[in-house]
Amino acid sequence: MILSQQVRSRQEYFAASRVGRGVALNRRQRAQIWPVFEEMREQLARGGFVTAEDAVHHALELLKQGDDKRSYHAVVVDEGQDFAAEALSLLRALVPEQPNDMFIVGDAHQRIYQRKTSLSQCGINIVGRGRKLKVNYRTTELIRRYATALLEDVEIDDLDGGSDGTKDYRSLVLGQAPIVQNFTDLSREGEWIVEQIKQLQSNGLSLSEICVVARTSRLCSAYEDILQSHGIATHRLSRQKVDDRSKEGVRFATMHRIKGLEFRCVMMAGINRGVVPLSIAMKASQDVVEQRLTDINERALFHVAATRAVRYLYISSHGVPSEYL
């Protein structure tokens, strides 16, 4: 709230809008909280740092003042649903409004960060120019249905203030239904995953076409150790490097890391209660609005991971399975 509205003083904080917030704060509470934000900004300034949001607003000011003489013909945006309002406003300011000025691709069903905004509120007019893409070319219809079922009762926006349903999407190939299994403990779940990988290998899949996905890095390491103990080569994906498919080994990735990738087979492991959705994330705030947004983000994260599967989707858990299952 403070960063998006560029609140810089106690007086501005008292007057700032809290529309959409779940927990109300009176003036006394705001007065008690404000020194925390003031101290944060002072410490950042002493270290020569600014927040990403402040940097974007600073860039906007430079453009408004005419201090930046660079000009651009067009802006192309991918994953538009994950851009904050100030970032979209900055992109709008980079190019004059004209034909073919901006090309934005986004899907709010894949929004994994709490950055819901409206294109029109950021100065981006898509009336009569927006198109909805309804055909899924990556995954099979049965995997798509399973993944989107988790979002059917959730209101998803269309990136411009309206709502977007899931009823009119389709895939071109029916495929096979996802395989969902629960086990008493991690060891037995890991052994089952090993068995499935060996079966897939016998059916002609290379290890590099298989990705095991978990909610946290710690869980990734646990399953990776199990595969290695059975002589199966593994390869951990990182944000710093592009995946080199020539390197043999089952890929391992967190749900966040696999975003934007695709594999013939995806194995979502450790989908347990308290892990998906992640209890730490769900308990991070007492604000009911933020809790609801976090739940939607966690559902979207599950949806994203599941739809990385081109042909095969395996979902496993141990102990008490996630309520999402």
Instruction: Report pLDDT for 311.
Output: 97
The rounded distance, in Å, linking the Cα atoms of 106 and 202 is: 38
Highest mean pLDDT among 52-66, 162-176, 249-263: 249-263
The rounded distance, in Å, linking the Cα atoms of 46 and 149 is: 49
- Tell me how far CA of residue 52 lies from CA of 58, 59, 195, 294, in angstroms: 10, 11, 45, 21
The rounded distance, in Å, linking the Cα atoms of 207 and 202 is: 11
Confidence of residue 303 (pLDDT cuts 50, 70, 90): very high
Instruction: Report pLDDT for 20.
Output: 60
Phi–psi pair at 269, nearest 5 degrees: -110, 155
All domains of the chain in start order, with CATH = 10-49 (no CATH), 53-134 (no CATH), 141-318 (3.40.50.300)
Query: Residue 22: is its pLDDT beyond 80?
Result: no
**Cα 132 vs. chain centroid, distance in angstroms?**
20
Residue type present at position 266: V
Query: Residue 114: is its pLDDT beyond 70?
Result: no
Mean pLDDT of 191-209: 97
Helix (H, G, I), strand (E, B) or coil at 321: strand
Strand stretches in the chain, DSSP E: 75-77, 102-104, 135-136, 170-171, 179-183, 210-214, 234-236, 250-254, 263-268, 309-318
Instruction: Report pLDDT for 69.
Output: 77
Interval 313-322: pLDDT, tens:
999 999 999 9
Query: Residue 211: is its pLDDT beyond 90?
Result: yes
Long-range contacts of 278-281 (CB under 8 A, 24+ apart): 278/215, 278/216
Query: Residue 16: is its pLDDT beyond 90?
Result: no
Instruction: Report pLDDT for 68.
Output: 79
Output the average pLDDT for the chain: 91
Looking up tokens 């003036």, which residue turns up? Answer: 27
Residue type present at position 124: I
Other C-beta atoms lying within 10 Å of the C-beta of residue 253: 25
Mean pLDDT of 116-130: 88
Considering only CA atoms, which of 246, 276, 252 is closest in space to residue 193? 252
Query: Residue 157: is its pLDDT beyond 70?
Result: yes
**Which H or E run contains 142?**
helix 141-149
Query: Residue 23: is its pLDDT beyond 80?
Result: no
- Buried b / exposed e across 302-319, counting CB within 10 Å, b at 16+? bbbbbbbbbbbbbbbbbe
Does residue 249 come out as left (phi exceeding 0), alpha (psi in the -120 to 50 range) or beta? left
Confidence of residue 262 (pLDDT cuts 50, 70, 90): very high
**Which pTM does this prediction carry?**
0.83
Instruction: Report pLDDT for 43.
Output: 95
Structure tokens at 278: 């992640």
